[in-house]
Amino acid sequence: MLNIEKNYDFLKRFRQIHKPDRRTVFRAAGADEIMLDESWSIYCGSESSNEIKRAADDLQDYLFVSLGLSLRLTPKIQDKCIVFVNSNTKVKPGAYEIEVAADKIVVTGDDLKGVLRAGIALEDAMNLVEGPYLKIQKKRYEPLLKMRIIHSGCAIDDFPDWQLNAILHAGYTAIDVFVRDIDENAKHEYCNITELIERAESYGLDTILYNYMRCFIHPEDENADKVIDGIYGRLFRTYPKAAGISLVGESLEFPSKDERTTGKRFRESVVDGIPDNRPSPGWFPCYDYPLLLTKIVNSIHRVKPDANIVFSTYNWSYLGEKEREEFLAKCPKGLTVNIAYEMQKKKIIDGVKFSVMDYTASAAEPGEYFVSEAEAVRKNGLDIRVCSNTGGNSWDMGAAPYIPVPQLWLKRMRTLQKYAREYKAYYFYEGHHFGWWPNICNDLMKKLYYSPESAVDDEAFLKMLAVRDYGDAEVVKVWDLWSEALTHITTSNEDQYGPLRTGPSYPFVFQVNITRTLGAKEIPFPCSPKAMMGNGIIKTLYQSYEAAGQSPGIMRYPIDLKELATLLELWGRGLEMFEKVISRIKDSRKLENAERLFALGKYIFNSVRTVINIKKWYLTTLELKSCADPVKASALLDKLIEIAAVERENVIDTIPYVERDSRLGWEPSMEYVCDKWHLEWKLRQLDFALKEIEDYRRILLE
C-alpha cells in the first residue's frame, strides 16, 4: 500500500531519472547478445566534450542505480569499453548509430544531440529486457521529426537541470517557455531566459519561445515596422540561440480593418456595454492578418534567418475551409502552421451533433479542420507543426498526470506518421501547459518516430511495456478497456472547463438565487494566488456553452448521460481486472507502479461520476426553475438531495487516492484543484447547497 503523500511530494519521484532495482532477469547472454558486467568500462577522455561526458556519466549512473552495476570511467579506449563519439557530420540532427560487438560498444551521433539520445537508447533497450543485455548488431537511427516540443511538467516555465534531463530521457527535443517580455515569464516573474536556453542546449534540447507579448498595431501604420522590430527583432537579438517562436491569435490581437471582426481586443469588443457579436481579430483569419505575420517573420528572420516561426490557427478552427484557405494562401512562406489534431472533430449520435471543443485523447482520427488545414498548408508550401498531445495528456482530465489509454494514443501516432512523411509535418507540439509526466506514450513515440522502426509489432510492444512496468501482460487488456471507454467521453466546453478540469472537487451550485444582496451564483474556485491561470480556466456555475458545430446542450445531455454510463461501465471493468493483476504482483517496484496506475484509474472513474452527477443536478435544476407546483417542486428538491448524497460518497471515495499520489489533482497552470483540502472544501460546499435547498423549500411551502 502506498504511503500518504503531502502536496508536491510527487516532485521527489519526478527528480529521480534512473529508477532503482530495474533488473529482474539474471541469466547468461544469448548467442546474439552481450551481457554487461563490471569488467566493462566507459570511455571518457580528457578531450571529450561536456555533452559526451554527460552521456558517459548518465550511462554510468543508470547502470549503477537501475541495474546494480558499477562501471568505471576510463581515460583510454580498451577492450570491453563503451565509447561515445560525435561524428560531427550533421547529416541528420539527432541521428545516431549504435554498434554492439562482443568486446566493444561504439555509440556515434551525427551531432551531440545524437550522442545524448543514443546513450538513452541503450538504457531503454536494457530496461525493456530488464537486465544488462544488448543485441550484437550495428544499426543507424534517424528521427522522423525535426522537433518534439514540451512544456515543463514540474511547474510553469520551471526547468531545473533534473527536469531538462527528464525531458531528454523521455524523448523530447525542445522545451517551450512562455515569454511576456525580456526575461519575464508567464507568471510575470523574472526568468533568466538566456541561461535557460544555454542549460537546455547542454542537454541537447532546443528552446521555443511561446509568445505572450502584445503587438496591438496595424501592419499598415506608419511606425509598424519599428514597433514590430522593437518587439520580435529585439527578442531574437536578446536570445539569438532560441530555436523559434510560437504565435497564437489570442495573444496576437491587432486593430484589424476587416469589418467581419470588431477590430478590437476581445475584452474591449463592446459598445455602450452591448457586446459586439463579431469575433475579435484574435479569433478570425482577417484579410490583413497575413500582412502582420509577414512583417513579424521578416523582423525575426533579419536577425535569425533559421528561426522556426510558428502560427497557430487553433482559434478559428470552427470556420469552414474557404475562410481558412484564403488566409493560408496569403501567409508568408517562412511560416510554420500549427494545427490541432482533434479540434472540431464531429460526431453524430441519434441525429444530435457533438464536436470536440478542446484537446482530447478520445479522437483517434483527426478532425475535419486538421485534415483540410493540412491539405491547404501543403498546397501553399508551408511547414506543419502538429498540436498532437502525444505526450499522453489532454483536457479530458485537467488535473491528471496523463490519460492511460495507449491504444488510442497509438492510433493517433500511427495516423500522424503519414503527415510527418508526406505533409512536411516536421514538428510536434506534444503537450500544452498541462505539462507532461513519464508514461507509456514516451516509449511509443520513440518506437514509432525513429527510422528504422522496431520490428516488434504494436501489440507485442505494449505487452513488453506492461511486463516491464507492472510485471503482467494482462495490463494491456485493462488499457484496451480504458481506451474503448474514453471514446464515450463528453468533450464540451462546460465539461472540460468544469468537472473534468477539476475532478470530484467541482462544486454543485444550487442555481436558484436566494439573495438579499442580489449577488451572482458563480463562485470562485479556490486556487493558489500565485498560479498562472488559477480559476480563470474553471467555470463553477454549470451550464451549457452553446457553439456552432454542436447541438444545444438540452439535446446533448440525455445522450451524454448514456455515453458516460457506458464509459463508466467499461472503465470499471478495467479497474476490476486490474485489481486481480495487482494481487499477483510480487516485485515491490512494479507493485508501486501498479498502485499508482490504479489510483489514477480511480481518479478518472470518480471524475466521470462527478460529470454524470452534475448533469443530473443541472437538468433537475432546469426543471425546478420552471415548476410552479409546490408539491412537484418539493419532489425535485428531494431529487437534488439524493444526487448530492451520491456525489458526497464519490468525493469521500476520492480522498485516499489523491493522498497516495500527490500528482493527482494538480496541474501546472492551476496548481492544486483536487487534493484532500479541495475535496473537503467540496463537502462543505455541498452542505451549503443543501442548506439553500431547504431554504427554498420553506419559500415554496409557506
User: What residue ranges do the domains of the chain occupy?
Assistant: 10-140, 147-466, 486-701
Q: How far is Cα 75 from Cα 67, in angstroms, rounded to an integer?
A: 23
519-532 confidence digits (pLDDT tens) = 899 999 999 999 99
Percent of the chain with pLDDT over 90: 96
Percent of the chain with pLDDT over 70: 100
- Model confidence at 2: pLDDT above 90: no
- Sheet of 96-100, strands arranged across: 72-74, 41-43, 81-86, 104-109, 96-100, 137-143, 450-451
Three-state secondary structure call for residue 361:
coil
CATH number of 147-466: 3.20.20
Mean pLDDT of the chain: 96
Is residue 687 classed exposed, middle or buried when 0-12, 13-18 and 19+ CB atoms within 10 A define those classes?
A: exposed
- Model confidence at 45: pLDDT above 90: no
Exposure on the CB side of residue 151, measured as CA atoms within 13 A: 23
Q: How far is Cα 388 from Cα 409, in angstroms, rounded to an integer?
A: 10
629-670 confidence digits (pLDDT tens) = 999 999 999 999 999 999 999 999 999 999 999 999 999 999
Instruction: Tell which residue, 317, 308, 313, 297, has the closest CA to residue 336.
Output: 308
**Per-residue confidence at 548, pLDDT binned at 50, 70, 90?**
confident
At 47 the pLDDT is 78
At 49 the pLDDT is 87
Bridge partners for 271 per DSSP: 274
**Per-residue confidence at 205, pLDDT binned at 50, 70, 90?**
very high
Other CB atoms within 10 A of residue 651 CB? 26
584-643 confidence digits (pLDDT tens) = 999 999 999 999 999 999 999 999 999 999 999 999 999 999 999 999 999 999 999 999
Q: Cis peptide before 452, with omega less than 30 degrees from 0? A: yes
Bridge partners for 176 per DSSP: 208
Mean pLDDT, residues 433-438? 95
Mean pLDDT, residues 138-149? 97
394-418 confidence digits (pLDDT tens) = 999 999 999 999 999 999 999 999 9
Mean pLDDT, residues 240-254? 95
Mean pLDDT, residues 305-309? 98
Cα(first)–Cα(last) distance of the chain, in Å?
Answer: 54
Pairing of strands 450-451, 137-143: antiparallel
The CATH architecture assigned to 10-140 reads 2-Layer Sandwich (3.30)
Q: How far is Cα 673 from Cα 34, in angstroms, rounded to an integer?
A: 49
Instruction: Tell which residue, 418, 435, 564, has the closest CA to residue 495.
Output: 564
- Model confidence at 268: pLDDT above 80: yes
Assigned C-alpha cell, 199: 542549460
Q: How far is Cα 164 from Cα 169, in angstroms, rounded to an integer?
A: 9
At 571 the pLDDT is 98
275-297 confidence digits (pLDDT tens) = 999 999 999 999 999 999 999 99
Helix (H) or strand (E) holding 77: none
160-202 confidence digits (pLDDT tens) = 999 999 999 999 999 999 999 999 999 999 999 999 999 999 9
Three-state secondary structure call for residue 128:
helix
Q: Is the dihedral of CA 143, 145, 146, 150 positive or negative?
A: negative
Bridge partners for 98 per DSSP: 107, 139
**Per-residue confidence at 451, pLDDT binned at 50, 70, 90?**
very high
**Per-residue confidence at 51, pLDDT binned at 50, 70, 90?**
confident
Bigger pLDDT: 165 vs 76: 165
C-alpha radius of gyration, the chain, whole number: 27
Q: What is the pTM of this model?
A: 0.97
Residue with the three cell numbers 482577417: 286
- Model confidence at 515: pLDDT above 90: no
∠ CA 467-503-588, nearest 5°, is 25
- Model confidence at 1: pLDDT above 80: no
At 107 the pLDDT is 96
Mean pLDDT, residues 70-94? 93
Three-state secondary structure call for residue 571:
helix
Q: How far is Cα 377 from Cα 361, in angstroms, rounded to an integer?
A: 24
